[in-house]
């Protein structure tokens, strides 16, 4: 009889333990489910407004390249003209400084263009049809304009150069490439440029950089003279001698 009572007690305890274990497991599962649901609901509450709304960004201070103000503006226009340019270009120094003020442009950039294009010869023309001190193509002139008139030639050439500077965001090398090869090259890669434009970029950007460095010399300009620029300057000197004689009344 005692043995039978013990067996019933053991069976009852085991049954209660199994039930308790089942209840605990169920409670844990319910708790995990509740936590998971709450987390999902919270995430949905946080993310839904972001997905549904449009995020607006405000530019407080636009970033412009450091070089953008080097060759343009009032300060650039007042930059002293470097002594590195050849005497044939220095001949035009008073006008170069006046054009710098008028076009709000570094006079050294203007002198760089004159140096490479004509070396100061206002009467020179190219086989492609470019004319005068700035070697401006005929289609830049208005009908009836004298393409060799120094002031007219400068106005047309510098207007085009200023447009290139604006398109290139002040990048002198790209503006010079655009002056030679057309503004379309500014947005294209170096490899797509004609060989002449690549050389122009090389000569122009380096001469300008050396002219504005304050060193008082331009190895690149000397290289340009040796590469063929010297003959252009010889012709320019002859033209300027004639102009000097005419002004003196000879």
- Point out the residues that are catalytic: 117
Please spell the DSSP secondary structure of 160-187, one letter per residue: HHHHHHHHTTT-HHHHHHHHHH-GGGGG
Inter-helix orientation angle 107-117/150-167, to 10°: 110
Q: How far apart are the first and last CA of the chain?
A: 154
d(CA 67, CA 228): 30
Give which of 132, 149, 72, 134 is closest to 103, Cα–Cα. Answer: 72
d(CA 248, CA 250): 6
Q: String of b and e for 199-234 (b: at least 16 CB within 10 Å)? A: ebbbbbbbbbbbbbeeeeebebbbebbeeebeebbe
Reduce the secondary structure of 30-92 to three states and give it as a string. HHHHHHHHHHHHHHHHHHHHHHHCCCCCCCCCCCCCHHHHCCECHHHHCCCCCCCCCHHHHCC
């Amino acid at each position: 009889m005692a043995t039978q009572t013990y067996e019933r007690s053991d069976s009852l305890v085991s049954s209660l333990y199994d039930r308790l274990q089942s209840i605990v497991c169920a409670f844990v599962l319910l708790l995990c489910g509740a936590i998971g649901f709450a987390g999902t609901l919270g995430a949905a509450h946080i993310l839904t407004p972001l997905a549904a709304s449009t995020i607006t960004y405000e530019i407080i201070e636009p970033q412009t390249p450091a070089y953008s103000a080097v060759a343009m503006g009032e300060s650039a226009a007042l930059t002293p003209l470097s002594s590195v340019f050849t005497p044939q270009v220095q001949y035009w120094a008073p006008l170069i400084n006046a054009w710098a003020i008028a076009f709000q442009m570094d006079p050294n950039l203007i002198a760089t263009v004159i140096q490479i294009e004509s070396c100061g010869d206002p009467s020179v023309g190219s086989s492609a049809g470019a004319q005068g001190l700035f070697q401006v193509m005929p289609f830049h002139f208005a009908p009836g304009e004298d393409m060799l008139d120094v002031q007219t030639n400068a106005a047309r050439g510098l207007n085009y150069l200023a447009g290139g500077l604006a398109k290139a965001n002040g990048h002198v090398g790209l503006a010079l490439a655009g002056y030679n090869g057309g503004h379309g090259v500014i947005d294209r890669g170096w490899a797509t440029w004609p060989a002449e434009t690549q050389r122009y970029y090389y000569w122009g950007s380096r001469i300008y950089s050396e002219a504005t460095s304050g060193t008082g010399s331009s190895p690149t300009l000397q290289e340009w003279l040796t590469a063929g620029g010297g003959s252009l300057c010889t012709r320019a000197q002859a033209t300027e001698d004639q102009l000097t004689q005419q002004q003196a009344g000879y």
